[in-house]
Structure 1
């Protein structure tokens, strides 16, 4: 396979509803869309999930465009490779970090590889599921009553797991009131690194609410303090921001820093690394689920394909397009029925890019050959 042309598009799409976490509030999605073409006329697609601000991690839309343009694209354009694994393991091996920048080219290459094989992306990754269970992530609202109302709406739509964002001052009381109204729903808390070990008594209080997990309670780059915290909690800790690579996952599991891992393709450098972490977690009996970065349809399609792998035993964050966008950039849009998404079987990501919508939301584009 030889990629002869890549078009980067700077996209901006308004979210249907503001999404608030301990980092702040997002009102729109500002991202890079990647379109890669081969000498044989195939086209592969991917989304870059870096944010405009370095709040989730150190990468941003601008720094990723710089890495792609000046370093990563020159390494792969018009170069032969047989398998997408070669991008991560060979072409990009000497580039430190910048996982989100690497991931979007890895994902586009995997889409191309699947199309070349005339198979679905889920199939070539090793997926075994025809449908995947879907959960929903609910941001910090203006009131607990509003949160309860949203949970009721999503429960009626069939979602199978409910993740509530928490932060200091918006945690124990929230869970207490939610559990009184919804005592049996699968419920988890996501702290996005908002706490320290000084908050251990507060975090231990969450044990009373029978949560599936507490996601990333401590620092974004920590696995040591998480191990100390997990030893004192009944509730499983799930790591998100701390896991950037296979080695991070291996060490966190060895140290007992977590009992569950949230896999985000962009955060760990692409689908090649995701498969490697998946296989290790299966060996170690560590459950996985696929997190979300407020992706539009193409990024969401990659998440669906990954979640079809057998180690993803917990509902992920890949909710339907209609929860986030007035109109998405794929056809058909991602649809949830009874809390499940059907895994596409057509070649590649299984959804067709809608060029009219893509052009509508493009702020700037550049093609590299």
Structure 2
């Protein structure tokens, strides 16, 4: 497959409500969409980095720069290109997994469209729909939290995740458990907000029967997570710490986690995400698909990944209206707690031109 050029499209999508985590509050989602054009097809990828380097060291302007100056030109040097060749072609450039993931996904989408093959089939999916959870941000009050959770439960979400931080942890969990009972699948996400000194505080979450506590400590602190796992009963899930199949294997062997959250953008793309799935499955470690407030493009690809057999826990693959009044694709609509896995070639969905143009901030064409 020969590339003719790559388009970088910056979009800004307003959120239906502010989304607050331990590292900040978002009122809109800024994204870079990568479109590759070949002689046979076009393909789309979504760069899920945030506008500022808060969740990770990557940020959108930096991603645009590394794509423009290094990653896209590296692909121009390939005589003939397919998706498995992207990572080796970009390996000389350290880091930048979210930028690399967007480019690889766009190439993969174009390749599969030209072959008429759905991404789900290519990855090895075994289901045609996936159960969906929802992520609930930090709120100004317990009343607001309970109102939000109630709306999501009534909408049909099968699992609720609460964002937590020191000072907003035990009481919110207690309030949700008392209101909705023990049958609600409930988990929490700390986004690295705690240290090992907070172990006693985190142990206070044990009586609430949580599915897991996600990434309580700094991403580099695998040993700290392994030690924390001995001090609390709630299973530890790693998110930011898992950057590759190798890091997943190391974390599992150290006892740093019992569950893994796989985010394709964080690990460099869907092919590496599948390798992480395979490593975890081989070790009997359940996985689930995390979310980064993706548009319909990223959501479609995440659903294909979440349909693999090792994804035994509901992920953050929420419906389009969880975050956006209007998506840039046909909206994904929750039905009985599930979303369908796209069956069309590639990621199985395309942007709607008018909706895409309405949120586009800028475009840049990089000819090859």
Q: Same fold (TM over 0.5)?
A: yes
Q: Give 1:100's match in structure 2, choosing from 98, 101, 122.
A: 98
Identify the residue that residue 202 of structure 1 maps to in structure 2. Answer: 201
Unaligned runs of 5+ in 2: none
Aligned residue for 2:73, secondary structure, equals: helix
Q: Is 2:7 the partner of 1:7?
A: yes
Measured in 2, the distance between the counterparts of 1:353 and 1:70 equals: 26
Task: Give the distance between the partners of 1:81 and 1:163, measured in 2 at CA.
Answer: 43
Give the alignment of 1:85-234 within 5 angstroms. Answer: 85-88=84-87, 90-183=88-181, 184-234=183-233
* 1:93-135 alpha-carbon deviations (Å, 9 max, x no partner): 2111111111001111121122122021111111111110100
How far did 1:78 drift? 6.6
Matched position secondary structure for 1:357: helix
RMSD, matched Cα: 1.1
Q: Which residue of 2 aligns with 1:30?
A: 30
Q: Distance in 2 between matches of 1:309 and 1:348?
A: 16
Report the CA distance between 1:316 and its aligned residue: 0.5
Structure 1: gaps of 5 or more residues? none
Tell me the SS of whatever aligns to 1:257. Answer: coil
Equivalent residue number for residue 246 of structure 2 = 247
Question: In the superposition, relative to structure 1, how do residues 334 and 77 fare at CA in structure 2: closer, same or farther (>3 Å)?
Answer: farther
Deviation per residue, 1:52-108 (Å, 9 max, x gap): 1111000000110111000000011373445311111x2012111111111001111
Q: Distance in 1 between matches of 2:3 and 2:241?
A: 32
Deviations 1:127-183 (A, max 9, x none): 111110100000011111111111111111110110000000100111111111112
SS at match of 1:267: helix
Match of 2:274?
Answer: 275
Question: In structure 2, what is the Cα distance between the partners aligned to 1:9 and 1:313?
Answer: 34
Measure the CA separation in 2 of the matches of 1:82 and 1:74.
Answer: 13
TM-score by length of 1: 0.97
Cα displacement string for residues 175-229 of structure 1 (whole angstroms, at most 9, x for unaligned residues): 1111111122000010011100110100111111100000000012221100100
> Which is further off, 145-154 or 14-23?
145-154
Please name the residue that 1:308 is paired with: 307
Aligned-partner Cα distance in 1 for 2:79–2:235: 44
Q: CA deviation at 1:275?
A: 1.0
Is this contact kept in 2: 1:133–1:341, CA < 8 A?
yes
Instruction: State the alpha-carbon separation in 1 of the partners of residues 178 and 220 from structure 2.
Output: 34
Moved over 4 A (4+): none
